[in-house]
Structure 1
């Protein structure tokens, strides 16, 4: 009987806890402005690659990047999922050298690279 009570308690706790998501604090960043400005894009890229200073939003991005790539942005908000596809599509199609460096660091075994490239190769900004 105690086992059943414990099981119901665990189910109740799991149902009461909302699904964990990344902060939505930076969801309104203008990605088109970043992607359209090589200097700004390079600053974000250097942050992610540990080659330069990070803004608060760059630090937040960097802290979740590996996990988000591995689980297809499962903890992302809808805006973050859309933004991720836009940025990855841009890198694949217009900044392949940056994409190659990024995947060399975060996906050295190419577990996720092909999946993203197949889906986003033709995505245009």
Structure 2
């Protein structure tokens, strides 16, 4: 009985470890969004619950907290690259947006060390 429980637990853990966010929006043109203040503001407003969301904005809003708390472990390779690109842009060029996002999704800076380490990696 105990062995059966252990096998089920291992299989469930393996299945969850392989879970990824949808790659449906991996081809979105981040440069276009980052280069267009109006578009960028619309996405930021979406994830901050200050405006309407496009389908891809809603997907981002639904996963951002989990991605920040897990250092993007469920992200596809494209999503990891995109996350680093977007956050680097926000921190350097739109720090007020980055600070608002951090305040909403990591208000006590509990996960700052882990996502800063993720952002610094180059994988």
How much has 1:14 moved relative to structure 2?
A: 5.0
Aligned partner of 1:70 in structure 2 is: 69
Q: When the two structures are superposed, what TM-score results if normalisation uses the length of structure 1?
A: 0.82
Classify the secondary structure of the residue corresponding to 2:22. coil
Deviation of the 1:53 alpha carbon? 0.4
TM-score for both structures, normalised by structure 2:
0.83
* 4+ long deviations beyond 6 Å: none
Offset at residue 7 of structure 1 (A): 3.1
Measure the CA separation in 2 of the matches of 1:112 and 1:17. Answer: 21
Higher RCO (CA 8 Å, separation ≥ 6 residues): 2
- Partners of 2:12 and 2:108 lie apart in 1 by 37
- Say what the alpha-carbon RMSD is for the aligned residues: 2.5
Q: For residues 35 and 95 of structure 2, what CA distance do their matches in structure 1 show?
A: 15
Where does residue 50 of structure 2 map in the other structure? 51
Q: Distance in 2 between matches of 1:41 and 1:25?
A: 20
Counterpart-to-counterpart distance in 2, 1:93 and 1:17: 35
Change (3 A) 1:45 1:15: closer
> SS where residue 88 of structure 1 aligns?
helix
Matches within 5 A, 1:34-45: 34-45=33-44
Equivalent in the alignment of 2:27: 28
CA contact (8 A) 1:47 1:54 kept: yes
Instruction: Report the structure number with the largest CA radius of gyration.
Output: 1
State the partner residue of 2:105.
106
- Provide the C-alpha distance between the structure 2 equivalents of 1:120 and 1:7, rounded to a whole number of angstroms: 35
